[in-house]
């Protein structure tokens, strides 16, 4: 056993700390590689689902255009109108505790588009406006589009809007 007040103790401690750093770096590198592999698989899956995503995006845009023509839509404050919210991100892979995204109809210069916000807890991270079906299908995850369409197609969207305008 080496006495603490010696240069030899410092050498041993430095070597031990270096080994710990190497182990930590290898673990971080492995984790980075795993995340890259997950992202790659996710992107491949999204690409395979593109035809379905295009169909869902088209249905969503058709509904948004039709709903924006109604007196009910015209009577609402568009800037505060949320159509859908979720605990999964729309614009990237992931979600979970504290994650959120919101979907809304946006009309600019007479053109109907949609806006999606992603955020974490109280912090918005991204806001993106889409005016083309292809953009929406390419940039938004299949899970999000699918869940959004189910929300609209089931009619739950109307109760959701009503609940949000009264609170």
Distance separating alpha carbons of residues 62 and 66, to the nearest angstrom: 6
pTM: 0.76
Distance separating alpha carbons of residues 2 and 42, to the nearest angstrom: 53
Query: What is the structure's pLDDT at 80?
Result: 67
Lowest-confidence segment of 33-47, 66-80, 113-127, 134-148 by average pLDDT? 113-127
Residue 26: exposed, middle, or buried by beta-carbon count in 10 A (0-12, 13-18, 19+)? exposed
Strand 123-130 and strand 99-108: the pairing is unpaired
Query: What is the structure's pLDDT at 55?
Result: 98
Strand 123-130 and strand 111-120: the pairing is antiparallel
97-143: pLDDT as tens digits: 667 888 999 888 778 889 988 887 777 677 789 999 999 999 999 99
Query: What is the structure's pLDDT at 81?
Result: 81
**Among 51, 66, 78, CA closest to 133:** 51
Residue 1 confidence (pLDDT) above 60: yes
The answer to whether 104 touches 115, Cβ cutoff 8 Å, is yes
The answer to whether 60 touches 136, Cβ cutoff 8 Å, is yes
| Tokens at 127, concatenated | 């806001």
3-state class (DSSP) for residue 47: helix
| Tokens at 17, concatenated | 């700390």
**Per-domain boundaries in the chain:** 1-48, 51-165
Query: What is the structure's pLDDT at 102?
Result: 87
Residue 90 confidence (pLDDT) above 80: no
């Amino acid at each position: 056993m080496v006495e603490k007040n010696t240069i030899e103790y410092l050498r041993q401690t430095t070597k031990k700390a270096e080994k710990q750093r190497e182990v930590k770096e290898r673990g971080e590198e492995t984790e980075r590689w795993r995340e890259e592999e997950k992202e790659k698989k996710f992107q491949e899956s999204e690409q395979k689902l593109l035809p379905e995503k295009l169909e869902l995006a088209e249905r969503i845009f058709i509904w948004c255009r039709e709903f924006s023509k109604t007196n009910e839509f015209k009577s609402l404050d568009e800037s505060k109108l949320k159509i859908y919210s979720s605990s999964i991100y729309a614009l990237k892979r992931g979600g979970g505790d504290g994650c959120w995204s919101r979907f809304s109809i946006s009309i600019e210069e007479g053109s109907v588009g949609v806006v999606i916000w992603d955020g974490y807890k109280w912090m918005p991270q991204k806001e993106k406006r889409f005016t083309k079906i292809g953009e929406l299908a390419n940039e938004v995850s299949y899970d999000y589009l699918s869940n959004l369409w189910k929300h609209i197609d089931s009619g739950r969207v109307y109760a959701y809007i009503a609940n949000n305008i009264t609170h």
